Amino acid sequence: MNREYVDVILDVAARDVSIARVLREICALDGPVRSIALDLVVARLAGHALAKDLRECMAALRRDDVARRIAEALTSSR
Protein backbone atom coordinates (compact mmCIF):
# COMPACT_ATOMS: atom_id res chain seq x y z
CA MET A 1 0.00 0.00 0.00
CA ASN A 2 1.64 3.19 -1.07
CA ARG A 3 1.63 6.43 0.87
CA GLU A 4 -0.40 8.27 -1.78
CA TYR A 5 -3.28 5.81 -1.40
CA VAL A 6 -3.47 6.49 2.35
CA ASP A 7 -3.22 10.23 1.65
CA VAL A 8 -6.32 9.98 -0.56
CA ILE A 9 -8.21 8.25 2.26
CA LEU A 10 -7.14 11.04 4.61
CA ASP A 11 -8.18 13.71 2.08
CA VAL A 12 -11.66 12.21 1.88
CA ALA A 13 -11.87 12.09 5.67
CA ALA A 14 -10.81 15.73 5.85
CA ARG A 15 -13.76 16.70 3.68
CA ASP A 16 -16.40 14.67 5.52
CA VAL A 17 -16.46 14.66 9.31
CA SER A 18 -18.73 11.59 9.45
CA ILE A 19 -16.24 9.56 7.40
CA ALA A 20 -13.40 10.82 9.57
CA ARG A 21 -15.24 9.79 12.72
CA VAL A 22 -15.91 6.25 11.46
CA LEU A 23 -12.36 5.82 10.16
CA ARG A 24 -10.91 7.08 13.44
CA GLU A 25 -13.00 4.60 15.44
CA ILE A 26 -12.32 1.61 13.16
CA CYS A 27 -8.60 2.32 12.77
CA ALA A 28 -8.15 2.70 16.53
CA LEU A 29 -9.27 -0.91 17.09
CA ASP A 30 -6.71 -3.67 17.42
CA GLY A 31 -6.20 -5.84 14.34
CA PRO A 32 -8.58 -8.76 15.00
CA VAL A 33 -11.39 -6.51 16.25
CA ARG A 34 -10.88 -4.11 13.33
CA SER A 35 -11.10 -7.05 10.92
CA ILE A 36 -14.43 -8.13 12.43
CA ALA A 37 -15.76 -4.57 12.25
CA LEU A 38 -14.77 -4.37 8.58
CA ASP A 39 -16.41 -7.76 7.94
CA LEU A 40 -19.63 -6.26 9.32
CA VAL A 41 -19.31 -3.21 7.08
CA VAL A 42 -18.71 -5.39 4.02
CA ALA A 43 -21.65 -7.63 4.97
CA ARG A 44 -23.89 -4.56 5.30
CA LEU A 45 -22.83 -3.39 1.85
CA ALA A 46 -23.09 -6.86 0.27
CA GLY A 47 -26.35 -6.06 -1.50
CA HIS A 48 -24.80 -3.08 -3.24
CA ALA A 49 -22.43 -2.97 -6.17
CA LEU A 50 -19.14 -1.90 -4.60
CA ALA A 51 -16.61 -0.01 -6.63
CA LYS A 52 -13.17 -1.57 -6.89
CA ASP A 53 -11.61 1.32 -4.99
CA LEU A 54 -13.99 0.80 -2.06
CA ARG A 55 -13.10 -2.90 -1.92
CA GLU A 56 -9.41 -1.95 -2.01
CA CYS A 57 -9.95 0.57 0.78
CA MET A 58 -11.60 -2.07 2.98
CA ALA A 59 -8.65 -4.38 2.36
CA ALA A 60 -6.17 -1.60 3.16
CA LEU A 61 -7.89 -0.78 6.46
CA ARG A 62 -7.22 -4.35 7.60
CA ARG A 63 -3.47 -3.67 7.51
CA ASP A 64 -1.99 -2.56 10.83
CA ASP A 65 0.42 -0.07 9.25
CA VAL A 66 -2.35 1.62 7.25
CA ALA A 67 -4.78 1.70 10.18
CA ARG A 68 -2.10 3.08 12.50
CA ARG A 69 -1.21 5.89 10.10
CA ILE A 70 -4.85 6.84 9.55
CA ALA A 71 -5.68 6.71 13.27
CA GLU A 72 -2.66 8.86 14.14
CA ALA A 73 -3.45 11.41 11.43
CA LEU A 74 -7.14 11.65 12.36
CA THR A 75 -6.44 11.84 16.08
CA SER A 76 -3.93 14.64 15.62
CA SER A 77 -6.35 16.62 13.41
CA ARG A 78 -9.17 16.73 15.98
How confident is the model over 35-50, as pLDDT tens digits? Answer: 999 999 888 877 777 6
Helix (H) or strand (E) holding 72: helix 64-76
Give percent of the chain above pLDDT 90.
63
DSSP 9-71: HHHHHHH-HHHHHHHHHHHHS-HHHHHHHHHHHHHHTTTSPPPHHHHHHHHHHTSHHHHHHHH
Q: The whole model's pTM is what?
A: 0.81
pLDDT value, residue 5: 84
